[in-house]
Structure 1
Amino acid sequence: MNAANKRKDTMDVDKNAKRVKKECSYGDKCYRRNPAHLREFSHPHLEAILDTSVGGDYTIPPELSLQRQLILEQLEIIVEKKLYEPRSSSTKTPDPPPAKQSNNAPQTIKTDQKPESSTSKETEIKLSRDVKDSKDDKNSFASNSDKKDTSIKGDGEKKAVDSGKTKDDYRPIVPPTRRATEYLTVVRPEGKMAAKHAASAPYHIFYTTIAAAKETHSQPTSITFLEILDRSLGELQCSLQINFMVEPAWLLAQYYFAGYSEKKLTILYGEECADLKNISTKKPHVEAYQVPMASPFAKHHTKMMILCYEDGSLRVVVSTANLYMDDWENRTQGLWFSPRCPELPPDAMPHDGDSPTQFKKSLLKYLAQYRTPMLSRYVARVQRCDFTHINVFLVASAPGGHFDMEFGMTRVGSLLRQHCSIPRSEQQRWPLLAQASSIGSYGKEPRLWLTGDFLHHFTKIKEQPQTLSQPPELKLIYPSLENVKQSHDGLLGGGCLPYAAEAHFKQPWLNSFLYQWKAKSSHRDKAMPHIKSYTRTSPDNKKSAYYLLTSGNVSKAAWGNINKGNAALRIMSYEAGVLFLPKFVINEDFFPLEPNAPNRLIIPYDIPPTKYTSDMQPWVMDYLH
């Protein structure tokens, strides 16, 4: 991962080695292989193995023998990334000849690595203990079936699959043999999500449960990943996960505990992940595709799910969270979980069953941007489902030049120009609250983009003034250093806030727009925000004109930059969000924000926001170095 990304594998190794690590709460049951996690947390059982290793030989204690493959992979990552310096490293001797061992002796794993200058590393694994593969499969999070998925042709080529429900396509539920409570921090009762989802109408907005804030565990709008897969919503047939960062072990564990360890799973991802490159060879029911990007500054940043059920229906989830454990524990995330979209009659046309918001049309247009046959199954499912009851607009971004106002900030502006009901006489009195987890580079002056094109499009109204006037106030909500210090995870809580000191040094004027992260009303004050949301509030803070929940931060890469020559909107990244407009959701002009109001819109942070004090500075990732 490069230095511009959230989890920086190129951090100063010496500094990280000296920093005192917090011990992983999972102990020797930790199944994670993410370098960021192994860097941030201490794992005594792995460190003990490294401390006693000689040369390339690792002695695995008998009580951990069933986890030998997982432990080997974790050790390889720690050694390769230099995340731990063994205490006995200075006295190590050359590799001795392999010794014979009895069946009851501890298992020895030999790892031979080529010099660092080699372009590819080859690892030879020698196991001295004979353990049957079937025994390991029973004790893995997601065991492989003997059945092979015939839709996968080689590592890279995927054949379009007819997603119609057939007997051959059915993959049974596999009840887990382990309890989720042994591995997951917060586990809600099974079978309750359908009722919880119904009670969330008309918004269907949820915020992730905060592990360290027990008050959030029972909130009706709190959700865990496992609840998204709850069988009360229907039996899953296949699912599409579109995301930026993916931790395969964590994600597959969620499917395992849901009983879906053999269900078809397709993953589109952005951030480099070695475990996903050839995952189909180990997990035939899982296929993965890394979305290519034209620029190193561009990101495949979308967080979306399409969940297809055995009865032909589907649900769409648009989220702000990566598929990574930290993002679902002590960070504030938001997601929209669509109602069930039933299957259309057999004679229906692909464009039938769209909503007044044209959500289906927008979703199909967004999926078409990927130009990969791997999505043909899910495109066909979307075409055959009824979206007429969806009450939100899909607002997405895709790389390239756009003239049609279908993506990015021109999409936002076009919709607000048609439907935002703020009176012209009050236009300047309704501020824009832009809440983000990262800040872009805007130039020497705010008018070059931030208070120029960006603010202009996000504050359009139906009665748009025809003459130039003073724009509404912009309040940019982003955590200060003080906010992060008091978070549940201390400074590590800022790991999801990748703003750089170098960027802030070039735009010191930004401080006058900054507001703190305060969320006491939702018990998320100490859960740093990875959520991104935008709204405009009334002068008395009792009403909202709209609410946009999205993966897009306040940046040119996410929302685009208008070319002054041909007026094309140039977008660099993939993003996805949903726009809530009162007329379509509650048939009113504005959303109520007061606590006891009917159909209240719940926003996770405190309104009105609190401005930075004169001595405050925004959080920058450099504080972690």
Structure 2
Amino acid sequence: MSQDSQHGRWTISSSDDDDEAIPLSGTTTSGPHRPALSSHGSHPSASPPSPKVEPVTAAVEVKPEPANAPASSLVVGSEARQSAATNQLNPVKCETSPSLAGKRKNEASDGSGWALSDSDDDDGDVKGKGVVKRGPPSPKTKKPKETERPPSPHGRLYYIDEPEDFFESSVPCLNDTYRFYLNKVTGLDRKYNSGALHIRDILSPLFGTMKESVQFNYCFDLAWMVKQYPPEFRDRPVLIVHGDKREAKARLLKQAQPFPHIRFCQAKLDIAFGTHHTKMMLLWYEEGFRVIILTSNLIRADWYQKTQGMWMSPVFPRLPEGSDDSAGESPTFFKRDLLEYLASYRAPELEEWIRRIKEHDLSEARVYLVGSTPGRYVGSDMERWGHLRLRKLLYDHADPVPGEERWPVIGQFSSIGSMGVDKTKWLTGEFQRTMTTLGKSSLRPEPPMHLVYPSVEDVRTSLEGYPAGSSLPYSIQTAQKQLWLHSFFHRWKATATGRSHAMPHIKTYMRASPDFTQLAWFLVTSANLSKAAWGALEKSKTQVMVRSYELGVLYVPAAFNMKTFPVHKSQFPVSSSAGFPVPFDLPPTCYSPKDQPWIWNIPYSQPPDTHGNIWVPS
């Protein structure tokens, strides 16, 4: 059974040229990971040879992970994330793919050729399992002990060690205009990591003398996180702000048992399918206080071979004793909005941090905070959170531009929710209205909207291969209901930053000039393309409902004494002040008729990825 769309036919079959099936999780390997491309010589009839991918540099060393790592290192996150990690423990040989494909074909019991579940909404990273079964494990694969550490994306035993010069050894330059940085990616040419940061860099004593910190996030590997702190700070108090409940919460608490310096704050999630998706660090130093708003989970895979982004504040100094409560505010009201966001948790564990922030001078912040917190809001409160908060900021602080009807909106994300039976239900009828706001102009054009999301081929040829798709949770249950959306899709290409093969977990939104040399505004955020993250209007547009916690920062040219942001397409380092460091190629490349968006819960077996893996969901 197949369905046609503008971007080709989607099927589930045993044919050798069918690479459109897409899994919830799980991957198969044909052996230990090697730095260079694996050979597909054992599958001469499977497909044309894979496109050449820049090999990992020879300087890196492959080492096995310890087999007796504690259970506390297990990743905590959604059921889908757990399933992805679990399936990587039982690799299926590439040679088994034809029989597996036949098995999957027979299991599509609804007759549609799509793997269905009883879920009627997909809210980003939240969802669970597909009904397509994974094939039997390889006979050579032993069932792992419960105490074993989850494997790398390339198999149970191997990660690539970073070269010795991968981490900062001297004080990095952090005074560029925008303070927007990409993460370092293992395996890229050194120049493409110039100006980028790893979590170990961020927590380094080069950045400040740590006294205490808060980590807001969605997925956690606490044992790994603790190791990212330098030894001298490794026992300093850490507060973990999370949204886990019941079994997931119990797993998280179990992770922390070896670490008495870790405490917890559970975010309230009272609306179904909401998540605590915010990713923020609050770092309290002897020298002051720093805020980092980012897109990475606190797990190694997110800091390994994925493209991530972050805004890093300067070190905010302590205010003089006796300062007024309104002191230390920035022109963008960053201090007020950060305090309001923290207060929305209604958590006693954050009261001490709210007091500390009040005592610091945040006047150097030049970005606007755009947050989401769960709830239903009416009246003026509708503009406090979600995309209506962004709309309000763009109305008040962005400036109209000549010919703005031709300035496209570009959105880029790693997960997609359900948006309705046609584009007017939310995407163009509501979300685009926000994205096209520029000042108080009465003109409300509908310019082009380019949505950048990896295709199957992008994932297949990535540094990680198919396992990179476990962080791109667009489900078949959602995709089949909104084929109209795929006409907006554009490929993930990032040749200027060397990251075309480092799949994105970063989320960005912007408004660009027709020649893509200027930006009217830019946003980096944790929010994917979903109503859960951004909010949706209800009750004849008199109320907005938001399901999840999200957080991002908005760059508006006026706050930098500019009319627009210049874009430099081939600038290094990637955090250059000469032009805004857009993390992918402009103009975006539209999907070809043969391209299909990556969907993570149907299988891909032919052709294998760049490591000889196939992808089989459970």
TM range (shorter): 0.7 to 0.9
1:611 equivalent among 590, 610, 614: 590
1:265 matched to 2:306: no
Q: CA RMSD in A?
A: 3.1
**Quick check: which one's helix share is greater?**
1
What whole-Å deviation, never above 9, does each CA across 1:366-404 have from its counterpart, x for those lacking one? 111111111122111111110011100010000002242
1:315 matched to 2:290: yes
Q: TM-score, normalised by structure 1?
A: 0.71
2:324 equivalent among 349, 354, 369: 349
- The 5-angstrom pairing of residues 236-251 of structure 1 reads 236-251=210-225
> Residue 267 of structure 1 aligns to a residue in which SS?
strand
Give the Cα–Cα distance (whole angstroms) in 1 for the partners of residues 298 and 136 of structure 2.
23
Give the Cα–Cα distance (whole angstroms) in 1 for the partners of residues 89 and 305 of structure 2.
15
- The code of the aligned residue for 1:380 comes to R
Point out where structure 1 has 5 or more consecutive residues left out of the alignment. Answer: 1-10, 44-81, 91-110, 114-122, 124-180
Q: Which residue of 2 aligns with 1:535?
A: 510
Q: Which residue of 2 aligns with 1:203?
A: 178
Moved >6 Å (runs of 4+): 82-90
Q: Which residue of 2 aligns with 1:166?
A: none
1:564 equivalent among 539, 544, 547: 539
- Classify 1:428/1:343 alpha carbon distance in 2 versus 1 (closer, same or farther; 3 Å): same
Q: Are the equivalent residues in 2 in contact too, given 1:187–1:224 (CA < 8 A)?
A: no
Q: Which residue of 1 aligns with 2:88?
A: 40
Give the Cα–Cα distance (whole angstroms) in 1 for the partners of residues 23 and 394 of structure 2.
46
Give the Cα–Cα distance (whole angstroms) in 2 for the partners of residues 611 and 560 of structure 1.
27
Give the Cα–Cα distance (whole angstroms) in 2 for the partners of residues 531 and 16 of structure 1.
22
Give the Cα–Cα distance (whole angstroms) in 2 for the partners of residues 264 and 495 of structure 1.
32
Q: Which residue of 2 aligns with 1:419?
A: 397
What whole-Å deviation, never above 9, does each CA across 1:247-287 have from its counterpart, x for those lacking one? 111101111x4531111111112353544315565322111
Moved more, 379-388 or 285-294: 285-294
Q: Which residue of 2 aligns with 1:600?
A: 579
What whole-Å deviation, never above 9, does each CA across 1:328-348 have from its counterpart, x for those lacking one? 011000000101100011101
- The 5-angstrom pairing of residues 288-307 of structure 1 reads 288-307=264-283
Q: Are the equivalent residues in 1 in contact too, given 2:317–2:361 (CA < 8 A)?
A: yes
Q: TM-score, normalised by structure 2?
A: 0.72
Q: Which residue of 2 aligns with 1:136?
A: none
Q: Which residue of 2 aligns with 1:450?
A: 427
- The code of the aligned residue for 2:540 comes to G
Q: Which residue of 2 aligns with 1:518?
A: 493
Give the Cα–Cα distance (whole angstroms) in 1 for the partners of residues 301 and 142 of structure 2.
31
Matched residues, percent identical? 33
- Classify 1:554/1:390 alpha carbon distance in 2 versus 1 (closer, same or farther; 3 Å): same
1:506 equivalent among 478, 481, 490: 481
Q: Which residue of 1 aligns with 2:345?
A: 370
> Residue 391 of structure 2 aligns to a residue in which SS?
helix
Give the Cα–Cα distance (whole angstroms) in 1 for the partners of residues 407 and 160 of structure 2.
48
> Residue 260 of structure 2 aligns to a residue in which SS?
coil
Q: Which residue of 2 aligns with 1:134?
A: none
Give the Cα–Cα distance (whole angstroms) in 2 for the partners of residues 608 and 326 of structure 1.
29
Give the Cα–Cα distance (whole angstroms) in 1 for the partners of residues 445 and 463 of structure 2.
40
> Residue 174 of structure 2 aligns to a residue in which SS?
helix
Q: Which residue of 2 aligns with 1:428?
A: 405
Give the Cα–Cα distance (whole angstroms) in 2 for the partners of residues 601 and 191 of structure 1.
26
- The 5-angstrom pairing of residues 75-94 of structure 1 reads none
* Greater gyration radius: 1
Give the Cα–Cα distance (whole angstroms) in 2 for the partners of residues 182 and 540 of structure 1.
39
- The code of the aligned residue for 2:280 comes to M
- Classify 1:406/1:269 alpha carbon distance in 2 versus 1 (closer, same or farther; 3 Å): same
Give the Cα–Cα distance (whole angstroms) in 2 for the partners of residues 557 and 375 of structure 1.
24
- The code of the aligned residue for 1:224 comes to H
* Number of aligned residues: 480
1:459 matched to 2:496: no
- The code of the aligned residue for 1:298 comes to G
Whose relative contact order is higher, 1 or 2, with alpha carbons under 8 Å and at least 6 apart? 2
- Classify 1:28/1:211 alpha carbon distance in 2 versus 1 (closer, same or farther; 3 Å): closer
Give the Cα–Cα distance (whole angstroms) in 2 for the partners of residues 262 and 345 of structure 1.
29
Give the Cα–Cα distance (whole angstroms) in 2 for the partners of residues 217 and 607 of structure 1.
17
Q: Are the equivalent residues in 1 in contact too, given 2:527–2:550 (CA < 8 A)?
A: yes
- Classify 1:88/1:592 alpha carbon distance in 2 versus 1 (closer, same or farther; 3 Å): closer
